[in-house]
Structure 1
Amino acid sequence: MHEYLQLDPHYDIYFLSDPHGQYALLQDVLKEVGFRYPLDGEIRDRLFILGDMIDRGPDSMAILKAVQDCPAIYAIQGNHEQMACSAMKDNADRSLWIMNGGRWHEDVAIADVRKMLDFAANLPLCYTLQINGHRIGLVHAAVPAPCDWQQFTQCCNDRTLSKEDQYYAVWDRTVFTHDEHSVVSHIDAVLMGHNIVSGLKAKVSGNRVYIDGAMSMGDRGLLLKYRRGGEVLGLFQVFSFLREESTDGLMWI
C-alpha cells in the first residue's frame, strides 16, 4: 500500500494527477516537455501519476497499460480505480461506476478489463519520495487524521490502515474545501489530486499541494517538475497547459 523511493535528481521528475483516460493529451504533454523515456535499460526521466487514470476520457486502458509497461511511469490508486475494482467483483452493482465515467468497459473484452484492473488494484495507495534531501509524499485525496505522514505510511506498510481511512485517502473533499492551513507532519510536501483547482493553478494549503487541473476535460491540465531548493510549492516548477482549438497544439500558460 506504500512504497518508498530514493531518487537521483540528475534526470527530471514529473507529477500530474487525474488524467482520466486522456492518453493522447498525456502523450502530447510529455512530448512538449521533452520527457526522456528509458534508453538501453536505463530509467531517465520519471513520471508519477496521482491516481484516477481511468474513466471519463476516451482511452482508460492505454494509460493503465503505459503505467504497466513503462518502468519510468509510476502511479498510485485513486477513487476511480478503487470504484472500478469494486464494481468488477462478482455480482457487484456497476451503476455507480458507470455513472462516474465507467461505461468504457462495455467496449472492452471483460477478461482484458479484469486483468488491467487487477494490476490497478495492486498499485500503492501512497508514495514517499526522497529527492535531494527532500521528502515528498504522494496520495490521491487526503492524509487521514492525525495528519502524520509517518503514521499514515506505517499503517499502510503494516496493512493496518482502517477501511475508513483507506476511503478517506482517495475520496475526501472536506480538507481541500475547508482547511487552508494545517500541515502534514514528518514530510516536506504532499502532492494530491482528486479536487480540481481553479485557474489552472496549483493550490497550496499548509504543506499540501493540490494539482488536479481538470485534465479529464481533454484540453487542459497541470504538470509539476521537481526542482532543487525552495519549500512546498517552491520545490516544483509548475506547467499549466491548454490545447488550442485552432491548431490542436498545446499552449503553456
Structure 2
Amino acid sequence: MKKFNPYLSSSLMVIVLLMVWEFGARAYNKSFILPSPAEIAFTLWELRSVLFLKHLPPTFLVIAIGLAISVIIGAGLAIWMNASKTAEKTFYPIIIASQTIPIIALAPIFVLWFGYTIWSKVAVTVLITFFPITVSAFDGLRSSNKDLKELMLTMGASKKDIFFKLDIPSSLPSFFSGLKVAVTLSVIGAAIGEWLGAQAGLGYFSRRMMTQFDGAGVFAPIVLLSAVGIALFLLITLIEKTLLKWRKAA
C-alpha cells in the first residue's frame, strides 16, 4: 500500500483553486477588480525588473531589520522574565496589551514619528513580530525539565550551566515555532508600513497600482510578498532541522 503524500493533495488543491479563479475571473471580465492568475503572472514577468531590483530590496531590508530587532527584544525579554518574577509580572501584561491595539491604527503614528524613512516600517514590523517570539521563547524556557534541573544542582552545576546546558536547548523548539510565525507576520508588517507611507517597496507599489485601477499590478507584488514569506518560512525550518538534529534522534 502506497504511503499517502500530503504535498500532492495540497498541490492539487492549489491547482483546482487557481483554475476556479482563472475561469471565474474570465467570466467576470473585469480585470481591474478581479484579474486572472494568468494576467497576474504576465504582469509579474513584465514588471520583473522594477519589482525585483527596485521594490523588493527595500521590503526585504525592512523585514530583515525588523526580525533581527524582534529576536533580540523577544529573546531578551523572555530570558529576563524567566529569571525574574518581578519582570514577568511587569512586562507580560504589557506584551499582551500591545497586541490588542490594531496595527493599522498605530502605523500612521509611526509615520508621524519617523517620517517616510525605513524606521517607520521597521517599527510596524517589530510590533507585529516580537510577540510570538517573546511568548514562545518564554514558554520554552519554563518548560525545561525540573527533575533534570534538580539533578544538575545536586551534581554541582551552577545557574550558568543550567541555563546554557538545559534551559536554552529546552526552549529552542518553542523559539523556532514562534520564529516561524514571526517571519510570515513580518511580511504583513512590512507591507502595512509601506502601504501607509513609503517611497519604495512592494507594498508601496501595490498601493500605487491601486490608484491606477490596475488589478494585476496590485496583485503582482502581493504574490511576490507571499513568495518571500514562504521562502523565509522554509529557511527557518531548514535552520531548525539543522540545529535540532538531537530532537529528531530523541
Normalising by the residue count of structure 1, what TM-score does the alignment of the two structures yield?
0.24
Larger Rg: 2
Task: Looking at secondary structure, tell me which structure has more helix per residue.
Answer: 2
> Which protein, 1 or 2, shows the higher relative CO under an 8 Å CA cutoff with sep ≥ 6?
2
Which structure: greater strand fraction? 1
When normalised by structure 2's length, the TM-score is 0.25
